[in-house]
Amino acid sequence: MKGRYFAFNPGLCVLLIPLGAIAHKNGAPCARCPRNAHCTNASSCRCDPGFTSLSGKVIFSTSSEVCTDINECGPPLYMSCGSLAHCHNVEGSYYCECAPGHELLSGGTKFQSEKENTCQDVDECSSGKHQCHNTTHCINVKGSYRCYCHHDWVARSRPLHGLNFTICEEVPFPSWTSPSGVNSQDLMQEVDELLETPGDLETLAPSEQHCVATHLLVGLEDVLRVLSKLLPKGPLTAHASAGTGLSLTVQDQGIGDVTLGQSQAKMQLKWDVAQESNDLGPSVVGLVSTPGMSKLLAEAPLVLDSKQQTVLREHRDFLAGGFPVLLSDVVSAFVSNKDTQNLSSPVTFIFSHRSVTPGPTQKVFCVFWEHSQDGCGHWSTTGCRMAATGDASTTCQCSHLSSFAVLMAHSHVQQEDPMLAVITYVGLGLSLLCLLLAALTFLLCKAIQNTSTSLHLQLSICLFLAHLLFLTAIDQTKIKLLCAIIAGALHYLYLASFTWMLLDGLHLFLTARNLTVVNYTSVSRFMKRLMFPVGYGVPALIVAISAASRPSLYGTPTRCWLHTDKGFVWTFLGPVCTIFSINLAFFLMTFWIVKNKLSSLNRDVSTLQNTRMLTFKATAQLLILGCTWCLGVLQVGPAARVMAYLFTIINCLQGAFIFLVYCLLSQQVREQYGKWFRGVRKAKAEPENYTLSSGTVSDASKHSAALHSSNSSHPPRSERLLPGFTESPVPKP
């Protein structure tokens, strides 16, 4: 028996060893370990993940130790779940959950760490997750939603399925049969007190205040229209203490014009505008003034109609980013006819407001409150125009009825300087002429043709095309697509010009470093391989990426150039500043090389024999390479006007700089110009000499004929004279 036991024991050990390892790996509970802990060996325990021991020990051996839950959401850990989310602790772990009214992009709400946070607002109204009754109107707000009643309806709280729901009911105005109970004075007083002391309305966000104002204006207008039909015929006025007032008149089949007035506004319209086509009853015309409405309509945006936007673009004016300021009281006009969107004759409003003189960056507009689909609204100028304006009064004419006011908006006024325009056209014309002469010189003067000349030729061509397109097409903004194409072409040509300038600076540096002639073999071979792919390829790549990412930002309302929105103009200024910095480094290194090493060479070794001339060319090249556009970036603050003049003058003379530095200051080019001028003068002189020679030969022929007829006895002498005249084109004196 004992032998069998020992024979079996090794096999049993082989089976138990891996099982023990698996049990240890899986944290199998030990008899001596407390709850929420596992054994690490035969005598030690360790708390499970998410738990910690009361003693603070990681490894312990006493069975009386207690493992407590770690609150990852509280101190000292404070696990961050990111914005729009909250941390929730559970036993042994935690999780993150999006805040109420938000959910992950995947549609879930729970996640584990801040890296997984994609919480965003849930539009309960469009997704159908709201609990608004079908009689209400749902409006989404950040993290929640609101239930509103439509105008002409009132809210009622009723139990439904065990819950209290807000249900909207239409106001049964037609059932009111007691005109004696209508008190317009009390109604105006209630509205006046509401606007004077809005209470909790002031705590709402501006957008929600605009919604409340919209419902209040529409509801007040509709209520007064219905109530006015129950009033006796004739005029009626009502005023409240804070300025809210009502003026209306009721008349049977009115003919002619009607005028209603408040303390700060007057309205004039024709009676046939107020009358409904199928209504034979009395006509009503009313005007309500609500000065306190300006509190709810503060920070309301202004939207211009397309015609006024076109006018502003033509005058170089654009609305600034601030909110417009109300100058007058808000007045609401109503008539019996509910179809007032396109009146047969315009309605005239005369507003009296505080005295104001608009500055050069301010404009006065006649506006109305336009209701939007979400139940809110904004100021708009559609259908309204300003007939006249003064310091303290403004006359407006509108083709529809609503709530109206006069407001003043700030605008950017871009006034063109006539002197700058003259400098631009004259300077660009001179630059184009110089660039054309320089390009012809680089192309036709064989004595100077090398790598450097090729760089200057491409630079001259790009600048010539860019200046020509700028001069002829920069203002072609009527066709948006054409303007975008022009802006893209200018973007490419100017970037190509700067790229060729960069290659020119690189070539100058390599030439100075090798201390040899400009057409040194290795430098020339390197530049020939590099210049065309870089000179035209890099600008094309930049423009292609820019056009693919923001195609709508090519072209502005006034210029066919890059838009400044979203920093898009830096797709041009960024490469320009980079090229300018690199060329500045090239210039400094070239100057240092020339100063230290050129003095040790013979003055006749290379074309770099004159240090001062090389320095001057590098300095002039640096100006061409970007100083002008740096001045354009600095057109801000009080020095903007000076910088604008410097930018325009220097930028327009780029062609003159190139022609002066690379043509007129080159001895080889001057010698070639001399040969060309002498050839032109010689070509002009040859026809004159030919004419003189022909006349001389003709006279000699006549003279010889006379001699032959008069003295035929001496033919050898005449034969000797004639060849002398014909052999020489110009007879010797």
One-character DSSP codes across 332-385:
EEEES-S--SS-SS-EEEEEE-------TTEEEEEEEEEEPTTS-EEEE-TTEE
Residue 102 makes CB contacts below 8 A (sequence gap 6+) with 84, 85, 109, 119, 120, 121, 122, 143
What is the 3 state secondary structure string of 101-129? CEECCCCCCEECCHHHCCCEECCHHHHCC
pLDDT at residue 543, rounded to an integer? 95
Query: What are the residues facing 403 on neighbouring strands?
Result: 332
Q: Which two tokens stand for residue 537?
A: 């390829």
The separation between the first and the last C-alpha atoms of the chain, rounded to the nearest angstrom, is: 157
What is the 3 state secondary structure string of 384-405? EEEEEECCCEEEEEECCCCEEE
Question: Which positions of the chain have pLDDT values less than 70?
Answer: 1-31, 150-166, 169-185, 253-254, 276-281, 306-323, 359-361, 410-416, 515-524, 597-640, 686-733
Round to whole Å and give the CA distance between 213 and 325. 17
Kindly provide the b/e burial profile for residues 691-720, where b requires at least 16 CB atoms within 10 angstroms of the residue's own CB. eebeebeeebeeebeeeeeeeeeeeeebee
pLDDT at residue 439, rounded to an integer? 92
Round to whole Å and give the CA distance between 42 and 705. 149
pLDDT at residue 218, rounded to an integer? 85
Round to whole Å and give the CA distance between 132 and 418. 62
Whether the pTM exceeds 0.75: the reply is no
Query: What are the residues facing 330 on neighbouring strands?
Result: 290
pLDDT at residue 622, rounded to an integer? 64
Phi, psi of 571 (to 5 degrees): -65, -15
Q: Which two tokens stand for residue 256?
A: 């002619």
C-beta of residue 267 within 8 angstroms of C-beta of residue 260 = yes
Dihedral (CA of 218, 222, 223, 224) sign: positive
Q: Among the residues of 51-182, which ranges form H helices?
A: 124-127
Round to whole Å and give the CA distance between 210 and 217. 10
Which one, of 228, 201, 203, lies nearest residue 292 by Cα?
201
Which one, of 271, 221, 279, lies nearest residue 249 by Cα?
271
pLDDT at residue 729, rounded to an integer? 38
pLDDT at residue 171, rounded to an integer? 53
Say how many residues make up the chain: 733
Residue 111 makes CB contacts below 8 A (sequence gap 6+) with 81, 85, 95, 96, 97, 104, 117
